[in-house]
Amino acid sequence: MAATKTRTTLKSSAVLMAHFFVSSGIPDLDKTLGGGIPLGSLVMVMEDSEAPHHMLLLRNFMSQRLEKGLRIAWQYKKYFGENQSNLDAQRDNKQYFSNEFDLWRPLDRHFYTTQHVDCISTQDLPNLAPLQECCTSFLSHFPSDSNIVCTGRIAIQSLCAPQCENSSMEWEMLSFIIALKTTVRSANAVAIITFPSSLVSPSFCKRWQHLADCLVSVKAIPDEDKELAKLLTGYQDIVGFLNINKVPRINTQVPAVLEATTLSIKLQKRRYLVLECLNQAPIDGSRGRSYGTSGSCSGSPSQNGSLDF
Amino acid sequence: MADSICRTIRDGALEGEHAPSLTIKDTTASPYGFDVFTHVLSQTASLILAGKSQSRGLVVVAYSRSPSFYLDYLKRSGVDVASSQKWIHILDCYMDPLGWKHQLAETGILPSNSSADSCLFQDVKDINKLHSLILELGSGLVGQGKVRFSVAIDSVTEMLRHVPLSKVAVLISDLRSHDQISSIFWLLHSDIHDVRVTTSLEYLSSMVASVESLNQSSDGLSGDLGNLSLLEQNFRRGKFHVRFKRRNGRVRVMNEQFHMGESGIKFTSVTVEDGLVSQGLVPKVLFNLELSEKEKLERARVVLPFEHQGNGKPIQIYDGRRSLAPESMGEVSADTSQSNTEECSNGGGEIIYFRDSDDERPDSDEDPDDDLDI
Q: What pLDDT, in 10s, does the model give residues A128-145?
A: 788 888 888 888 877 776
C-beta contacts of A277-283 below 8 A and 24+ residues apart: A278/A232, A278/A241, A278/B283, A279/A232, A279/A233, A279/A234, A279/B289, A280/A231, A280/A232, A280/B283, A280/B285, A280/B287, A280/B289, A281/B285, A281/B286, A281/B287, A282/A309, A282/B283, A282/B285, A283/B283, A283/B284, A283/B285, A283/B286
Distances in whole angstroms, Cα of residue A76 to Cα of each of A5, A246, A266, B200: 32, 28, 26, 16
pTM of this structure: 0.71
The yes-or-no verdict on residue A302 having pLDDT over 70 is: no
Residues of B in contact with A293 (CB under 8 A): none
Nearest to A82 among B16, B248, B253 (CB): B16
Task: For chain B, give the percent of residues with pLDDT over 70.
Answer: 73
**Mutual orientation of helices A170-185 and A129-139 as an angle, nearest 10°?**
0
The yes-or-no verdict on residue B301 having pLDDT over 80 is: no
Q: Give the number of other CB atoms < 10 A from CB of residue B50.
A: 10
Nearest to A163 among B173, B280, B282 (CB): B173
Q: How far apart are CA B312 and CA B318, in angstroms?
A: 19
Minimum Cα–Cα distance from A200: chain B residue:
B196
Mean pLDDT value across residues B296-308 = 73
The closest of B81, B94, B79, B66 to B39, measured between CA atoms, is B79
- In the chain, the amino acid numbered B200 is S
The yes-or-no verdict on residue A13 having pLDDT over 50 is: no
Question: Which residues share a beta bridge with B41?
Answer: none
Q: How sure is the predictor about A39, in pLDDT bands with cuts at 50, 70 and 90?
A: confident
Does A161 touch chain B if contact means CB atoms closer than 8 Å? yes
Q: What is the pLDDT of residue A97?
A: 35
Residues of A in contact with B289 (CB under 8 A): 279-280
Nearest to B202 among A49, A220, A278 (CB): A49
**Lowest-pLDDT choice from A156-160, B104-108, B220-224, B279-283:** B279-283
CB–CB of B74/B81 below 8 Å?
yes
SS3 content of chain B, % helix, strand, coil (to 5): 40, 20, 40
Does A300 touch chain B if contact means CB atoms closer than 8 Å? yes
Q: What pLDDT, in 10s, does the model give residues A80-132?
A: 333 322 222 222 222 223 334 444 444 444 444 444 566 666 666 777 788 88
Under 8 Å CB pairs connecting chains A and B tally to 127
Question: Which residues share a beta bridge with B189?
Answer: B26
Does B248 touch chain A if contact means CB atoms closer than 8 Å? yes
B241 vs A76, higher pLDDT: B241
Mean pLDDT value across residues A142-162 = 76
DSSP one-letter string for B212-277 = EES---SS-----GGGHHHHHHHHTEEEEEEEEEPTTS-EEEEEEEEEEETTEEEEEE-SS--THH
- Helices (H) then strands (E): counts for chain A: 9, 14
CB–CB of B130/B102 below 8 Å?
no
Question: Is A231–B243 a contact, with Cβ atoms under 8 angstroms apart?
Answer: no
Nearest to B253 among A123, A222, A284 (CB): A222
Q: What is the pLDDT of residue A19?
A: 67
Question: Is B245–A123 a contact, with Cβ atoms under 8 angstroms apart?
Answer: no
CA A240 to chain centre: 15
Q: What is the pLDDT of residue B338?
A: 41
Tell me the shortest Cα–Cα distance from A287 to chain B, in angstroms: 11
Instruction: Find residues 86-105 of chain B whose CB sits inside 8 Å of chain A.
Output: none
Does B272 touch chain A if contact means CB atoms closer than 8 Å? no
Q: How far apart are CA B234 and CA B257, in angstroms?
A: 11
Tell me the shortest Cα–Cα distance from A48 to chain B, in angstroms: 9
Residues in chain B: 374
Question: Is A163–B166 a contact, with Cβ atoms under 8 angstroms apart?
Answer: yes
DSSP B318: P
To test the contact with chain B by mutation, choose from A280, A302, A303 the residue with the greatest count of B C-beta atoms within 10 A, namely A280
Contacts of residue B103, Cβ cutoff 8 Å, sequence gap at least 6: none
CB–CB of A271/A104 below 8 Å?
yes
Does A234 touch chain B if contact means CB atoms closer than 8 Å? no
B321 vs B241, higher pLDDT: B241
Q: How sure is the predictor about B295, in pLDDT bands with cuts at 50, 70 and 90?
A: confident
- Classify B299 as helix, strand or coil: helix
The yes-or-no verdict on residue B31 having pLDDT over 80 is: yes
CB–CB of A157/A73 below 8 Å?
yes
Residue A184, phi then psi, degrees to nearest 5: -65, -35
Q: How far apart are CA B256 and CA B240, in angstroms?
A: 5
Does B252 touch chain A if contact means CB atoms closer than 8 Å? yes
Minimum Cα–Cα distance from B245: chain A residue:
A50
Residues of B in contact with A299 (CB under 8 A): 202, 208, 243, 251
Residues of B in contact with A201 (CB under 8 A): 196
Question: Which residues share a beta bridge with A244?
Answer: A216
Question: Is B289–A196 a contact, with Cβ atoms under 8 angstroms apart?
Answer: no
When the pLDDT of each residue in chain B is averaged and rounded to a whole number, the result is 78
Instruction: Find residues 237-276 of chain A whose CB sits inside 8 Å of chain B.
Output: 239-240, 262, 265, 267
To test the contact with chain A by mutation, choose from B25, B247, B278 the residue with the greatest count of A C-beta atoms within 10 A, namely B278
B123 vs B197, higher pLDDT: B197
Mean pLDDT value across residues A251-261 = 80
Residues in chain A: 309
Q: What is the pLDDT of residue A91?
A: 25
